[in-house]
Structure 1
Amino acid sequence: MLKKKGLLVGTAVAVLSLVATTFTATSASAAGCDEYSKWKGTGTVKIFAGIRDPEATTMEKIFAEFTKCTGIKIAYEGTDQFETLLPVRVKGGNAPDLAIIPQPGLVATMVATGKAVPISAATRSNLTNYYNPAWASFTTINGRIYGAPFGASSKSLVWYSPAQFKKLGVTIPSTWAEMEAVAAKFKAAGANPWCAGIESGAATGWPATDWIEQMVLREQGPKKYNQWWQGKLKFSSPEILGAMNKVAAWLGTSSQVGDLKSVATRKFQDAGVPGLKAGTCGMLQQASFYSSMYPAGTTFGPSGDADAFYLPPTNTKFGKPIMGGGEFPVAFSKKKEVGFVQDYLSSPVYGIERA
């Protein structure tokens, strides 16, 4: 998932605290269609992305409500070959109306084709009112903004089973050393300390990329992290190689994750489910969106079926860094309905429906 010259594939915001959205229950109501009135239209808007089930099914249910209230149909297509197919389709004259792009670098590549359309004033207003200012920088090219975040999440989390923690007599770790002690407890009990899976079609490997990003941010701080993804700090630099070596010791050995070949072929969606609940593996480093991978009826929280805690820092000099991630819906059509859908996806109405 890493491209040459340090270009980061995947949206990562190196800030010490990140408030992705400020949607509240008073911003919009789930009942009725009043909030959708400004998006009335006709026809079909085609959305192309790499988001698949179970998230895709959830999205399509929400889109059905949008269609009912506005008259605009949304045809969603998800594929694990998204990063490969999107450039081909755009250059071949078969671009989707909207593409949900998870990479600032790919956004820039699509803008360079001359086919991408800047966001509308309404979407720009949503970006200003509801999102941390850092997000705009990822799709701003030559002074024009091409996308507002969609599905923003925190990536600095560790998923676990409260029942398994209780069974082993361990508590939530607040330091890296404490987390290593928890891992040792799972190892002593005959389980893999960590759950891991990095298979994701054409995007296979991105979870491992995230692990390296987490370590660079924690070990070197935001300044060095930004220099890295901007291409100013080489992969061969001592700072980055040091972070990679720490990740190798953390999640790159069979003593921590079990069979390494299985990690490469295990779908990331299946990395922690059902292993965490069964106790065959102890912890999973993954983003907040991983909650959608659990089966229906799962309860979350310290007393629930599953929960997550903050991935501890490794260098107290840099406080408690948080890495955020998200996708950006980028338009390839100037049809008003396409603009309406893009506006909707960045609005409190969609944000609350998806929460």
Structure 2
Amino acid sequence: MAVPSWRRRAFALAGVASLALAAAACGSDSDSGSSNADKPECAPYAQYKVDKKKEVSIYATIRDAEADKLTQSWKQFEDCTNIKINYEGSGEFETQVKVRADGGQPPDIAVFPQPGLLASFVKSKKLKELPAPVKANLDKNWSKDWAKYATVDGKVYGVPMGANVKSLVWYSPSLFKEKGWKVPNTWDEMIKLSDDIAASGIQAWCAGIESGDATGWPATDWIEDIVLRDQGPETYDKWVNHEIPFNDPKIFSAAERTASILKNPKYVGNPKTIVTTSFQEGGLPVKDKKCGLHRQANFYSNQWQKGTKVAEDGDVFAFYFPALDPAKGKPVLVGGEFVSAFSDRDEVVKVQTYLASAEWANSKAKLGDWISANKGLDTSNVTGTIDKLSVTILQDQATVARFDGSDLMPAAVGSKSFWTGMTDWINGTKDTKATLDYIESTWPK
């Protein structure tokens, strides 16, 4: 999900510590906000300023601590431009954004974690093609590969925002030190480590796939990551594009390899508890040393409690989810979000243009636990240890990156039957064959 590639250079706004001061300096209670133009702190926002106070609504999947940092990232923009951003994050985004759009009350801007879902709104003629200033920032700040994910029939309807590396495994460095365990470099070493953890009486792997209407998405990431490893990028691409069926024997092989970890009672205890454990809580036992390993993206760093040291010698850290055959490269599953608009009012265009800028990317990165494929992002502004690890993985010449498959698939599959199918599969309602057959049957004809 939510969800690829992850990389970055230089125009930095004021530091995080100056945000509050700058915001106060730029603020104005008047409708015109004319005094803002004379504030030096607001100079970078002059092109976005409107004469009268306006409001723009943004709807996304980003919640909790991540949402707090998101709203903080545009606080100075709001104070300097007369544009108030009303943000709402929801675990039911994929369902509710359609309900709102169909009901004639869509948000001004939606942040789609799935290009496939975005495309479905384009086909129903609800999204606006990128206005010229937004398109200019897209062309300047992103590669053609990133631009194509939000391109439908030759026209572009979204701009990438955040990025994430999903091929990570979280662990407790102090627990590993106590037990004498080593970070694995190969798949076989990881399986041996899993056996050793289980033999010690500690749960080897922990996971949680409950996420409201999006329940099941973390399990789709598992399948995708292992398809990349079990079958390689060529087969992965064919599968995502439905050039081979969802229930192809090669995908069955990858799903069974996934089951050898995620549905293995020796490693996870009762697999059914994974279905009722929330995505946010799934990996928390790692810090408490009640679980050895948790596969989840770099953005999971936002879930650790304040004060948790995330580092190689800290409370928690992560390592690269090993390849089956390192000689074939370093497969990496990546994800990201795309900013699209249902409205083309002037203030909406200005917000979308700002979110496509290097200025905003640097402002957001300074708050920590976030990376982007924006070429204008100065890597020195990437602060978190996991973010730096993620950037290192992405910049590795051996890396073979692929965008989250479910996010690229048609919405009927990628953000519906794949999720529900994985939930039934983990729950034991359907076996691997029945699950893959079901998902294949839902692929749009």
Q: CA deviation at 1:268?
A: 0.6
CA contact (8 A) 1:23 1:351 kept: no
Count of matched residue pairs: 339
Please give the alpha-carbon distance, in whole angstroms, between the structure 2 residues aligned to 1:309 and 1:131: 27
Q: Does structure 1 residue 249 correspond to structure 2 residue 244?
A: no
Q: Which residue pairs with 1:34 in the alignment? A: 43
| Separation of aligned partners in 2, 1:287 and 1:228 | 22
Cα-to-partner distance string for 1:56-76 (whole Å, 9 max, x where unaligned): 122222232321122210001
Rounded to whole Å, the distance in 1 between the matches of 2:102 and 2:195 is 51
Residue in structure 1 matched with residue 227 of structure 2 by the alignment? 216
Structure 2 CA distance for partners of 1:268 and 1:76, relative to 1, 3 Å: same
Larger relative CO (CA 8 A, sep 6+): 1 or 2? 1
Question: Which residues in structure 2 correspond to 1:1-355 (within 5 Å)?
Answer: 11=3, 18=5, 20-24=6-10, 26-30=11-15, 32-41=41-50, 42-273=53-284, 275-355=285-365
Counterpart of 1:149 in 2: which secondary structure? Answer: strand
Change in 2 beyond 3 A, CA 1:174/1:136 = same
**Once the two structures are superposed, what CA deviation does each residue of 1:13-44 show, in whole Å capped at 9, x if it has no partner?**
5xxxx4x34144x4444453333222212300
* Contact persistence 2:13–2:363 (CA under 8 A): no
Name segments (4+ residues, structure 1) moved above 6 Å: none
Three-state SS of the structure 1 residue aligned to 2:58 is strand
Contact preservation (8 Å) 1:119, 1:145: yes
Contact 1:22 1:131 (8 Å CA) reproduced: no
1:21/1:123 Cα in 2 relative to 1: closer, same or farther (>3 Å)?
A: farther
Say whether the 8 Å CA contact 1:102–1:328 is kept in structure 2.
Answer: yes
Q: What are the superposed Cα offsets for residues 323-347 of structure 1, whole Å, 9 maximum, x if unpaired?
A: 1101111100011211111122222
Q: What's the CA shift string for 1:167-225, capped at 9, x where partnerless?
A: 11122211111112222222122111111000000000000000000011112222211
Q: Work out the percentage of aligned pairs sharing the same amino acid.
A: 42
Quick one: structure 1 residues 10 and 301, their matched pair in 2 at CA, closer, same or farther if it must change by over 3 Å?
A: closer
Higher Cα Rg, which structure: 2
Q: Gaps spanning 5+ residues in structure 1: where?
A: 1-8
Contact residue 70 and residue 364 of structure 2 kept, 8 A: yes
Q: What SS does the corresponding residue of 1:45 show, helix, strand or coil?
A: strand
Q: Where in structure 2 are there 5+ consecutive unaligned residues?
A: 19-40, 366-445
Q: Secondary structure of 1:193's partner? A: strand
Distance 1:220 1:27 in 2: 42
Distance 1:346 1:306, change over 3 A: farther
What is the Cα-based RMSD across aligned positions, in Å?
1.8
Inter-CA distance 122–22: structure 2 relative to 1 (3 Å threshold):
farther
